[in-house]
Amino acid sequence: MQHAGREVEIKLRVSGAAAARRMLRAAGFRVVKRRIFERNTVFDTGRRTLRNSSRLLRVREAGKTTTLTYKGPPDRGKHKSREELELELSDAAAIAAILDRLAYHPAFRYEKFRTEFGEPVSCGVATIDETPIGVYLELEGEPSWIDSTARKLGFSETDYITASYARLYVEWCKAQGIAPADMLFA
């Protein structure tokens, strides 16, 4: 979901997808987009120009939809808030070739299964992201909606995660004592 070209979100660590579904349903949420597999490729220059400036250039393949996304540097705060520009395109391979010609190359790949939930009258969206490093509930919308929804689901601000999946993956690898590569299902 976009808010005038801005993304405002948090992640919450949950014990599993089934528990997260029960939690959301009990709070009045219903599935608005069924569970789908996503393949994400983050692009950057050889010198990691985008990463070093906290920006992101990503190609996401989800079912038959390919999305090119730019995310600007996040603002500091309890929610992750930053510029987000997205464009749906038809050919992931062509996008990758164009980016390659512009000196942007795959820097990190990650996969997840995502299920999107909504409320009948809401200014936000909740998603369950099943990743190779665990399950996360993501709340995206207006800050007041995020805070009230998190409380309704039994979370507090100390549970908020604003790190990217790439950052969470690096932290997970460090805790496991393994070298980071790409965050892919086996």
Cα–Cα dist 106/74, whole Å: 22
Give the type of residue at 179. Answer: A
Residue 3 has pLDDT above 50, yes or no: no
pLDDT mean over 39-58:
97
Q: Residues, the chain, total?
A: 186
**Cβ contact 131:110 at 8 Å:** yes
3-state SS of 46-104 is: CCCHHHHCCCEEEEEEECCEEEEEEECCCECCCCEEEEEEEEEECCHHHHHHHHHHCCC
Q: What is the pLDDT of residues 147-163, one digit of tens each?
A: 999 999 999 999 999 99
Residue 4 has pLDDT above 70, yes or no: no
**Local confidence band at 22 (pLDDT 50, 70, 90 cut-offs):** very high
Mean pLDDT of the chain: 95
The whole-number pLDDT of residue 1 equals 40
Phi, psi of 132 (to 5 degrees): -65, -15
What CATH number matches the domain at 6-176, 2.40.320.10, 3.40.109.10, 2.60.40.10, 3.50.50.60?
Answer: 2.40.320.10
Q: What is the pLDDT of residues 76-97, one digit of tens each?
A: 999 999 999 999 999 999 999 9
The whole-number pLDDT of residue 122 equals 80
Cα–Cα dist 102/18, whole Å: 42
C-alpha radius of gyration, the chain, whole number: 16
In the chain, pLDDT over 70 holds for what percent of residues? 98
Which among 148, 160, 145, 140 is positioned nearest to 2, based on CA atoms? 140
The whole-number pLDDT of residue 123 equals 85
